[in-house]
């Protein structure tokens, strides 16, 4: 069979021209044998037939059934349905297959209601049901020979619903009800339990049709008029011109279904109602099917003018027509002539009706309309002109060309398909205007959605989802909003319920499917192939999928452009290829949904292979897309039973998932983790899996918070997999990552041993990425341990190799460790190096390394510029981390905020922050240590002691200076405040031992240790701490040292020097907004002034200190200051 590319008619082999339309069959391209379609299935069963046929003669049964079958077939086909089979007294019919219409569900219901009425004339009674749903449709089946058309659950559902219908009634399922409730009146029944259905099924009893078929009810618009103001002006101008010039005007409004043609016409009619002159408005609609529909639209105009109802008999219609014409025509001969020529339009006949030439009828109809317009301006609305027959086009052409001296506005609405049926419509006529409606803009659609949902503001996620699905089409927007309301998918706050997915309403799916079914089979296949590529596609890809020539495909695509199904792009993203996109995303979705799974699998693989060939060396840029195509090919092939070479598809999918993960690591780490995880599910044991495990482990741990056990397990798996293969480089890389995880979890010594093991597996004479990673880890671990010189040496060793290999991300890390080490050694270029690393990270897109850079820069900006500057940079870094999915780094950066929060006196925020951490791992110990610090300074000594007792052993096990020194410092302060001076001194001794050769950490802890030494009168230990400490060029560290020296002067009895030193640092602490440090130095100055006998000055300083301590709720120090105030007041 050769299928005509123009009309879809099947033709016998050997035909060169279509037997239906005469088109060349040489153009016929490929067509699908099957499609997935939204169909409505009708089951009708004769009530009581089994009992009546019992013992009856077979010929009598056949005689009884023959008129019944004929009646059903006639009524079903009248509404565009297809009888699939008769089984005794039951019939199954399908609407929407093989060709879909936008109102198939309504057609099925109307047909069933008509059958209920018609069978009563045969003294029979039936029960019937309609169900709507997706089915697989055979496009080559011959139902007249008993071949089935559709298969799917919708068939079983319709059959079982029919069994639930009361005799003499029609019931429908939920999808049918939703699609037809505006046209059919229903009564809801109790839900029923159907075999094979887990939940009860909703059921509705169809009562009657709401209005005349083909005519819209005159209902006021329910939505605001948005985005069509200019188009409305064009209609108004055309009408004004018709009235002003007493001449006919033709306006054709063209646009895709749902774009707003009807809404524009309604607004125009409302405007007409406000005009001073009376306007005669008459309208008719062209129908897509039925009997005697050629001039149906014109017949509706005449019926409306004469007041003829559909329920009127031919005699009644004739009488009303005669009365209407007589009111306008006095001449008896003209009257009889007009009535005889108008009568066929309204279904009436004159007694002596004679055949008339079409030209004579056209003249009569034109004269009738001219007479109406002569009385007052006539607006003639012809809707859905794209369904008009050629004869109606001919009449309208004559009316536009020959009507004269009367104000007539012919207003037509049509879809773009109009120009396929009549390419020259309106062309060359001076009184013709075409208004082409484009989709609404995003802003206009957003306003429409707000109005439909009665919400001024929608949640961003809801609005974005609806804007995407509506695509500027007002009807789509309305249907989606209606569906969300019906199914309760919007919360009271306007958020999407459930998983946030928005399914396609049946009404929208039917509308688009009907448009697609107007295409010639080969054009439709072309659209299917394009839908597999995506919303954007190229002729080469479509040709590759369909096995066609790119040039031929390009020509056929231009036809789809004219139909406004796709549109060309100005510039293509693929060299040498034109680029197209679907006019609306839903067109793509519906076209894609029609492809059977087996065909879809083959097409996805073809699309992937074309992308691979086209991308060449840049295939990694398309890795995510390729992985998705291969996944679809694999899963759809398996689901349809045509698995083919599944192993090869799995291999390709895994390869591109891995590449997609590599690409995402610098953009979205959470996504990268998902890609690696999916790839691992596909890859068998071997070197490829070992390498993938390493990448997965290295990426996953950065994106999680607190789950160190899982991170360690993954890292160890990567080590074991590489060791099993005997891959020393792979093992070294995996060990390097494991060392970082061990360090994070607080197992510092194990981490150091692990990274040194990794170093031993590598040849340092070779420039290897794994070697640079090992150098980076050694530098980082030495830096946090306080071994600045060693950290600097490892960083300097790794940077040239990283630069040589082009390892930008590792270079960012090495620059950080170099900068940190330089700062810790008092080198003035340290902070510049850190800023350089941050800029390089941001420029290169190295997400994890950039997140780490933010934290390190923030820490040293805190020391160089003060806590407010440091806190601001921490916040910027946390925002970056969260935006990139770096949950682990974000948690670390939030934890380090305890440093600036403490200095700024924002202790309540610090305590709240500390509740998020459990004291596990390095950052957990640090944060909880500062919680204990605040609690002991506020006098909550028992609570602080419990935390210190828990954390100090962990800090000792970690042994890194940045964790252990603060823990010992806080423990000493706590012991001193609770009166355990001997224990406090032991903590100081341990701190001095652990910070030997680590001047940066001695400087950082100097002031607090000095205060403990002051309270314990341990001048010698304070001297040991300060011995050899010099300025670092970092203002906070330098102030810590200066403040400790002021304490030493006070202990020496050099009170004048102490007072002067305290005054200086108190002022500078105040400039940095460091509350606690300023309070302690003000307190020190007050004590020194009391000792010098300058009691009035002392009181002022002490009052300031007390106010700050009181604000901090540092009760022990408020009490201490009060005691000194008493001394200042004495004498």
Q: How do residues 226-282 score in pLDDT, each as one tens digit? A: 999 999 999 999 999 999 999 999 999 999 888 999 999 999 999 999 888 899 999
User: Looking at residue 172, what DSSP letter applies?
Assistant: E
Q: Determine whether 635 is exposed, middle or buried from the number of CB atoms within 10 Å of its CB (0-12, 13-18, 19+).
A: middle
Please give the pLDDT value at position 454. Answer: 80
- The pLDDT tens digits of the residues spanning 396-439 come to 999 998 888 899 999 999 998 888 888 889 887 889 999 999 99
Q: What's the average model confidence in pLDDT over 1072-1088?
A: 96
Q: How are beta strands 378-383 and 184-192 bridged, if at all?
A: unpaired
**Given the structure tokens 């940095």, which residue do they identify?**
1072
What are the residues whose beta carbons fall under 8 Å from the beta carbon of 466, sequence distance 6 or more?
Answer: 449, 458, 477, 480, 481, 502
* Cα–Cα distance measured from residue 426 to residue 204, given in angstroms and rounded to the nearest whole number: 46
Q: Of 638, 610, 635, 608, which is closest to residue 623 (Cα–Cα)?
A: 608
* Cα–Cα distance measured from residue 44 to residue 38, given in angstroms and rounded to the nearest whole number: 20
Please give the pLDDT value at position 124. Answer: 84
User: Looking at residue 26, what DSSP letter applies?
Assistant: G
Q: How far apart are the first and last CA of the chain?
A: 121
The alpha carbons of the chain give a radius of gyration, in whole angstroms, of 42
Q: Strand, helix or coil at 762?
A: coil
Please give the pLDDT value at position 351. Answer: 42
Helix boundaries (H) for 403-505: 418-421, 442-452, 460-470, 474-486
Report CA 948 to chain centroid distance, whole Å.
48
- The pLDDT tens digits of the residues spanning 800-839 come to 999 999 999 999 999 999 999 999 999 989 999 999 999 9
Superfamily the domain 31-209 falls into: Nucleotide cyclase, GGDEF domain (3.30.70.1230)
Please give the pLDDT value at position 28. Answer: 42
* Cα–Cα distance measured from residue 108 to residue 42, given in angstroms and rounded to the nearest whole number: 7
Q: How are beta strands 82-87 and 34-46 bridged, if at all?
A: unpaired
For 3, 18, 34, 524, the CA distances from 25, given in Å and listed in that order, are 7, 6, 21, 16
* Cα–Cα distance measured from residue 801 to residue 468, given in angstroms and rounded to the nearest whole number: 48
Using pLDDT thresholds of 50, 70 and 90, give the confidence band for residue 58.
Answer: low
Task: Record the tokens describing residue 170, joined without a space.
Answer: 């029609």
Strand partners, 137: 35, 150
Q: Of 271, 261, 276, 215, which is closest to residue 238 (Cα–Cα)?
A: 271
* Cα–Cα distance measured from residue 534 to residue 556, given in angstroms and rounded to the nearest whole number: 18
pLDDT of 591 higher than 60: yes
Q: What's the per-residue H, E or C state across 1041-1096?
A: HHHHHHHHHHHHCCHHHHHHHHHHHHHHHHHCCCHHHHHHHHHHHHHHHHHCCCHH
Cα angle 420, 424, 430 (rounded to 5 degrees) comes to 145
Q: 904-1050: same fold as 31-209?
A: no
Q: Determine whether 389 is exposed, middle or buried from the number of CB atoms within 10 Å of its CB (0-12, 13-18, 19+).
A: middle
Q: Of 992, 986, 994, which is closest to residue 958 (Cα–Cα)?
A: 994
pLDDT of 520 higher than 90: no
What are the residues whose beta carbons fall under 8 Å from the beta carbon of 578, sequence distance 6 or more?
Answer: 538, 539, 554, 557, 568, 569, 572
Q: What's the average model confidence in pLDDT over 166-173?
A: 93
* Cα–Cα distance measured from residue 661 to residue 675, given in angstroms and rounded to the nearest whole number: 5
Please give the pLDDT value at position 667. Answer: 73
* 904-1050 CATH choice from 2.40.50.150, 1.25.40.10, 3.40.50.10380, 3.40.50.1260: 1.25.40.10
- The pLDDT tens digits of the residues spanning 866-911 come to 999 999 999 999 999 988 888 888 999 999 999 999 999 999 999 9
**Given the structure tokens 């939505």, which residue do they identify?**
223
For 66, 1028, 1084, the CA distances from 1054, given in Å and listed in that order, are 125, 21, 13
pLDDT of 1 higher than 90: no
Q: Strand, helix or coil at 757?
A: helix
Q: Positive or negative, the Cα torsion across 942, 944, 945, 951?
A: positive
Q: Of 764, 695, 821, which is closest to residue 837 (Cα–Cα)?
A: 821
* Cα–Cα distance measured from residue 1061 to residue 1126, given in angstroms and rounded to the nearest whole number: 24
Please give the pLDDT value at position 56. Answer: 58
Q: What's the average model confidence in pLDDT over 641-664?
A: 86
Domain extent listing, the chain? 1-29, 31-209, 229-343+368-436, 442-503, 904-1050, 1053-1131
* Cα–Cα distance measured from residue 1010 to residue 987, given in angstroms and rounded to the nearest whole number: 13
* Cα–Cα distance measured from residue 352 to residue 354, given in angstroms and rounded to the nearest whole number: 6
pLDDT of 33 higher than 70: yes
* Cα–Cα distance measured from residue 833 to residue 819, given in angstroms and rounded to the nearest whole number: 5
CATH 3.40.630 holds for 229-343+368-436: no
* Cα–Cα distance measured from residue 291 to residue 383, given in angstroms and rounded to the nearest whole number: 18
Please give the pLDDT value at position 465. Answer: 82
Please give the pLDDT value at position 61. Answer: 62
For 105, 894, 1114, the CA distances from 510, given in Å and listed in that order, are 9, 53, 72
- Which of 639 and 1121 is assigned the larger pLDDT? 1121
Using pLDDT thresholds of 50, 70 and 90, give the confidence band for residue 29.
Answer: very low
User: Looking at residue 467, what DSSP letter applies?
Assistant: H
Q: Among the listed ranges 46-55, 61-70, 391-400, 503-512, which one has the minimum average pLDDT value?
A: 46-55
Q: Of 612, 628, 535, which is closest to residue 579 (Cα–Cα)?
A: 535
Are the C-beta atoms of residues 1003 and 1029 closer than 8 Å to each other?
Answer: yes
Task: Record the tokens describing residue 333, joined without a space.
Answer: 């001969």
Are the C-beta atoms of residues 30 and 525 closer than 8 Å to each other?
Answer: yes
- Which of 53 and 846 is assigned the larger pLDDT? 846
Q: Strand, helix or coil at 384?
A: coil
Please give the pLDDT value at position 9. Answer: 52
Q: Determine whether 959 is exposed, middle or buried from the number of CB atoms within 10 Å of its CB (0-12, 13-18, 19+).
A: middle
pLDDT of 27 higher than 50: no
pLDDT of 196 higher than 60: yes
Query: What backbone torsions phi and psi does residue 985 show, to the nearest 5 degrees?
Result: -65, -35
Report CA 962 to chain centroid distance, whole Å.
43
* Cα–Cα distance measured from residue 936 to residue 230, given in angstroms and rounded to the nearest whole number: 73
Please give the pLDDT value at position 6. Answer: 46
pLDDT of 642 higher than 80: no
Please give the pLDDT value at position 858. Answer: 96
Helix boundaries (H) for 806-940: 808-824, 830-844, 847-865, 867-883, 887-896, 898-903, 907-914, 921-937
* Cα–Cα distance measured from residue 978 to residue 973, given in angstroms and rounded to the nearest whole number: 9
Total length of the chain: 1131
Determine what percent of the chain is predicted with pLDDT higher than 70. Answer: 92
Query: What backbone torsions phi and psi does residue 435 show, to the nearest 5 degrees?
Result: -110, 110
What DSSP string runs through 1000-1019?
Answer: HHHHHHHHHHHHHHHHHT-H
Task: Record the tokens describing residue 812, joined without a space.
Answer: 């960012």
Task: Record the tokens describing residue 371, joined without a space.
Answer: 């007479």
- The pLDDT tens digits of the residues spanning 102-153 come to 889 999 999 999 999 888 878 788 999 999 999 998 887 777 666 778 999 9
Task: Record the tokens describing residue 458, joined without a space.
Answer: 């929608």
Which long-range contacts link 938-945 to residues 24+ away (Cβ below 8 Å)? Answer: 938/907, 938/1112, 938/1113, 938/1114, 938/1115, 938/1116, 939/977, 939/1114, 939/1115, 939/1116, 941/974, 941/977, 941/978, 944/974, 945/974, 945/978
Q: Strand, helix or coil at 132?
A: strand
What DSSP string runs through 207-269?
Answer: EEESS-TT-------SS---S-HHHHHHHHHHHHHHHHHT-EEEEEEE-STTSSHHHHHHHHH
pLDDT of 293 higher than 60: yes
Q: What's the average model confidence in pLDDT over 747-768?
A: 90
């Amino acid at each position: 069979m050769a299928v005509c590319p123009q009309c879809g008619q099947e033709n016998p082999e050997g035909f060169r021209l279509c037997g239906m339309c005469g088109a060349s069959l040489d153009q016929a391209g490929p067509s699908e044998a099957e499609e997935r379609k939204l169909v409505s299935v009708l089951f009708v069963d004769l009530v009581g037939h089994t009992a009546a046929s019992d013992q009856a003669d077979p010929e009598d049964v056949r005689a009884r059934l023959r008129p019944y079958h004929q009646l059903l077939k006639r009524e079903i086909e009248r509404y565009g349905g297809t009888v699939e089979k008769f089984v005794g007294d039951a019939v199954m019919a399908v609407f929407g297959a093989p060709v879909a219409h936008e109102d198939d569900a309504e057609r099925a219901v109307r047909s069933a209601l008509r059958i209920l009425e018609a069978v009563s004339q045969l003294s029979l009674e039936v029960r019937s049901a309609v169900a709507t749903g997706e089915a697989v449709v055979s496009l080559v089946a011959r139902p007249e020979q008993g071949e089935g058309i559709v298969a799917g659950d919708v068939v079983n559902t319709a059959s079982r619903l029919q069994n639930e219908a009361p005799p003499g009634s029609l019931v429908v399922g939920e999808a049918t009800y939703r699609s037809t409730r505006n046209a059919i009146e229903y009564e809801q029944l109790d839900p029923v339990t159907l075999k094979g259905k887990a939940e009860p099924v909703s059921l509705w009893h169809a009562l009657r049709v709401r209005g005349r078929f083909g005519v819209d009810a005159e209902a006021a618009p329910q939505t605001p008029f948005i985005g069509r103001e200019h188009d409305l002006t064009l209609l108004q101008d055309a009408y004004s011109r018709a009235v002003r010039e007493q001449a006919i005007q033709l306006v054709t409004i063209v646009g895709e279904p749902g774009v707003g043609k009807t809404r524009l016409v309604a607004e125009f009619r409302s405007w007409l109602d406000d005009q001073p002159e009376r306007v005669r408005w008459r309208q008719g609609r062209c129908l897509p099917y039925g009997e005697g529909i050629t001039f149906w639209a014109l017949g509706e105009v005449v019926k409306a003018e004469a007041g003829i109802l559909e329920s009127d008999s031919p005699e009644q219609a004739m009488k009303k027509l005669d009365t209407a014409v007589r009111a306008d025509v006095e001449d008896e001969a003209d009257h009889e002539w007009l009535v005889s020529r108008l009568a066929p339009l309204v279904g009436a006949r004159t007694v002596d009706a004679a055949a008339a030439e079409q030209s004579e009828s056209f003249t009569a109809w034109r004269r009738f309309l001219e007479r109406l317009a002569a009385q007052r301006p006539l607006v003639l609305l012809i809707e859905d002109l794209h369904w008009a027959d050629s004869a109606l086009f001919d009449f309208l052409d004559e009316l536009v060309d020959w009507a004269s001296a009367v104000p007539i506005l012919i207003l037509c609405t049509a879809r773009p398909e109009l120009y396929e049926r009549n390419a020259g419509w309106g062309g060359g006529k001076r009184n013709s205007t075409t208004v082409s409606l484009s989709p609404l803009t995003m802003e206009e659609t957003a306003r429409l959605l707000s109005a439909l949902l009665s919400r001024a503001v929608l949640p961003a996620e809801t609005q974005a989802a609806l804007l995407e699905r509506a695509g500027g089409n007002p009807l789509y927007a309305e249907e989606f909003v209606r569906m969300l309301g019906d199914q309760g998918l919007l919360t009271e706050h306007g958020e999407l319920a459930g998983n946030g997915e928005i399914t396609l309403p049946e009404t929208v799916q039917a509308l688009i499917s009907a448009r697609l079914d107007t295409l010639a089979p080969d054009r439709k296949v072309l659209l299917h192939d394009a839908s597999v590529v995506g919303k954007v596609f190229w002729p080469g890809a479509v040709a590759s999928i369909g096995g066609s020539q790119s040039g031929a495909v390009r020509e056929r695509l231009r036809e789809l452009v004219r139909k406004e199904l796709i549109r060309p792009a100005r510039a293509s993203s693929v060299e040498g290829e034109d680029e197209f996109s679907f006019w609306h995303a839903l067109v793509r979705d519906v076209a894609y949904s029609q492809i059977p799974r087996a065909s879809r699998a083959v097409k996805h693989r073809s699309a992937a292979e074309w992308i691979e060939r086209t991308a060449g060396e840049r295939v990694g840029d398309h890795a995510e897309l390729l992985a998705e195509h291969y996944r679809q090919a694999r899963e759809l092939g398996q689901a349809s039973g045509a698995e083919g070479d599944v192993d090869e598809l799995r291999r390709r999918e895994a390869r591109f998932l891995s590449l997609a993960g590599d690409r995402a690591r610098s953009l979205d780490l959470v996504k990268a983790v998902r890609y690696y995880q999916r790839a691992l599910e596909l890859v068998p044991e071997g070197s490829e899996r070992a390498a993938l495990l390493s990448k997965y482990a290295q990426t996953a741990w950065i994106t999680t918070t607190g789950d160190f056990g899982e991170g360690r397990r993954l890292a160890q798996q990567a080590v074991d997999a590489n060791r099993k293969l005997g891959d020393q480089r792979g093992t070294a890389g995996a060990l390097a990552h494991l060392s970082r995880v061990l360090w994070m979890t607080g197992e510092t010594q194990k981490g150091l041993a692990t990274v040194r093991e990794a170093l031993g597996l590598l040849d340092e004479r070779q420039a290897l990425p794994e070697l640079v990673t090992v150098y980076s880890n050694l530098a980082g671990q030495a830096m946090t341990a306080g071994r600045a010189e060693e950290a600097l040496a490892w960083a300097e060793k790794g940077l040239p190799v990283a630069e040589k290999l082009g390892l930008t991300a590792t270079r960012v890390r090495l620059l950080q460790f170099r900068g940190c080490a330089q700062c810790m050694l008092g080198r003035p270029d340290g902070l510049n190096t850190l800023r350089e690393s941050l800029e390089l990270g941001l420029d290169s897109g190295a997400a994890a390394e950039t997140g780490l850079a933010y934290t390190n820069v923030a820490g040293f900006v805190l020391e160089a510029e003060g806590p407010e500057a440091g806190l601001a940079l921490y916040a910027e870094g946390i925002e970056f981390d969260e935006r990139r999915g770096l949950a682990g780094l974000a948690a670390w950066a939030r934890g380090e905020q305890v440093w600036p929060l403490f200095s700024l006196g924002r202790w309540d925020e610090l305590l709240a922050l500390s509740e998020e951490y459990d004291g596990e791992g390095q950052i957990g110990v640090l944060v909880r240590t500062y919680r204990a610090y605040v609690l002991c300074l506020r006098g909550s000594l028992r609570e602080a002691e419990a935390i210190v007792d828990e954390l100090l052993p962990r800090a000792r096990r970690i042994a890194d200076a940045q964790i252990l020194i603060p823990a010992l410092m806080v423990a000493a302060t706590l012991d001193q405040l609770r009166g355990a001076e001997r224990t406090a001194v032991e903590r100081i001794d341990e701190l001095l031992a652990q910070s030997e050769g680590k001047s940066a950490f001695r400087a950082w802890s100097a002031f607090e240790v000095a205060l403990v030494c002051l309270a314990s009168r341990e001048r010698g230990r304070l001297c040991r701490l300060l011995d050899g400490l010099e300025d670092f060029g970092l203002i906070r560290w330098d102030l810590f040292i200066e403040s400790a020296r002021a304490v030493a002067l006070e202990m020496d009895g050099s009170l004048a020097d102490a007072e002067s030193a305290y005054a200086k640092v108190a002022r500078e602490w105040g400039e940095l907004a460091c509350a606690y440090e300023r309070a302690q130095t003000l307190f020190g100055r007050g004590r020194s002034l009391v000792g010098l006998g300058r009691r009035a000055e002392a009181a002022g300083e002490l009052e300031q200190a007390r106010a700050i301590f009181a604000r901090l709720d540092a009760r022990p120090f408020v009490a201490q200051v009060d005691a000194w105030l008493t001394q200042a007041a004495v004498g």
